[in-house]
Chains A and B, each alone.
Chain A
């Protein structure tokens, strides 16, 4: 059995057979996972400096040189690397007195930090499968982002306390601004206007407090509050829709969760996207007391100025590991990165590798190199490489850069 590192569900039941240059047979891989495995065979990177192909040794030497001579380096990415590689990355940031940040800064960081610090109650996805009778996807569309979430854990499977079919024993609630693929499958879909998440949460709190809701269809809102109250075990899966909407009002969500726990038992599992974002955040929390946005210049400093979205403009050099910020970030930030001394460690070609001064090809984590990672719910998963490769892992490349520095 192989582990899929296509998303933070880290499915452990994958069976694959290969023929030259393609997957011959695959069992249990979703479409997203299929794309992830298929990526082995296209757009692979080669070592390069200033756009010209070179040896791996020279690329590593040049990368070390750029980072060593930078006044204000930023080390970014990490969510697609194993825990072992992330540990070396944090050591490298300390050695360089660099800024270090990951994708959580502009996605699930706010919620995950609360979960990791015990400020929001959480549980494992196995608990959800075994006990949950209400699953709430709020601003999340797992059918597109985590395609096996519903079938492995949150809606369709039978669990130790949920032996009957999902139609009888589970409610799946979707709260979203559009009728997503998941909304089409769920038992209860609530459409909200963009930015209406706070009012929706407050309306549910009002009903739980015995007041009339001032938002939405009153009858349906009261019906939803009743589903929430009757639940034995509810799981809320917040997605980016909720996070972006409540970005400076997250206490409203915390209040709702607390209120729901007065009437029943509710847990929160943020819909972390990349396969090991949570792992990086856990390591950073242990090391610094914060999950991201750290500068190691003269000690440990935390702040938004160290986030990739802000540091990209001030840093003179950036090491990107396993990420494509030039595709995923706003153009102005992407352009700042493109103009810095950009060093990229990545198995595959991307907009970011195309703009980089130095590209170092790496083994695809989970496919060509092994390690450990933390699933979205905090469960540690180990994986072995399933394909032979001569490529170095992120961990090995980062260790060599450390040694060169």
Chain B
């Protein structure tokens, strides 16, 4: 509901121009700015930009009769489907009340028997190397000459990377903001499946390029310019289904980068049509390794699903150097609502079981584990590392740093914050210079916070926390949950 305080409104029409959902309009006859409140998505663009703070956006109090089963969302979805006969689309991540395990895990701190370490006075290391590692180092006999040669490793200054968001789903300015911030902060960003605009080739050393089922924008230069290549099998927001970029979003530039005709729908099939089993995955991994002369680690990303542990073990054996698990709360530019809200498992459980399984099989060192899907704070990052992750991907938090207010309208192409859109009038709302600075700030503040937490635990290098579940305790979980997480109850 849009509340406009007439005492404050000066009819400047900023809100009219800012709103991409046609909520505000100017009535010339009455010389008054009015609202079509039914269009409001709650993105706050107008409220933030109104010069006189005349606007308040509130939840619409028009309630249905109370019903725990038939909540407004369920009723409205049925109505929409009755009108359109189609699949309901949505944006962003699962917004349902599934248990967020991060909020049931707490971290440890040193008291008396060992000292905490002060990051302001002592070095504190977050440096993380992603890639396949052997179980031992070999030296030439009777010397300290190194015989072991590692397969390619990627260095991260902070174990947080920007997750895949394709050009087309987000704007070029967003891509550029991410690329510049990753370069500055010493981490990686990910192109998503829509190719890489040539303007951004200069950031290749900090870029992960994605190869997805649609193969959009994949060519030798694209692969070789990157630091690492990611095969996308699945996405947490829509496990088991492909992608769909509507033709309206396929502008000239997007079409060039994706290598498809302008204005055509970009459809990624649900499976890779050359991967129907694990040995096919191995072939694609090695095809990409061949194409990049064994210079780049290959990531394989799956959505977290019931058998993640077994699948992950197969992926490691198939040659993946880094495995990526994208959880139930992972976001999307567009996905069928029913899939986003009902398919997949929480990332915390997937991570714990994958890390445990790889260790049981003695192959955990052979691949790094990266997780994605709903990481909100440096606390979540730190807990993820303690559970067993080498690094995490963030996307929604990065977009929030760029202005996103999580209004879940990404699929409409009308993002009022100029993020999830290719409309030039809107995309210019993100300035890559400012965007990069805000993202770098975010990573910087998280790295300070992670260092504080590490120091508190008496640890001065992140590898001593990785998989160190003794530094976690749980609050309010069942025995089965504790067992899967491999964490003890607080107090025990």
Q: Are both chains from one complex?
A: no
Residues of A participating in the B interface, judged by any CB pair closer than 8 Å: none
Residues of B participating in the A interface, judged by any CB pair closer than 8 Å: none
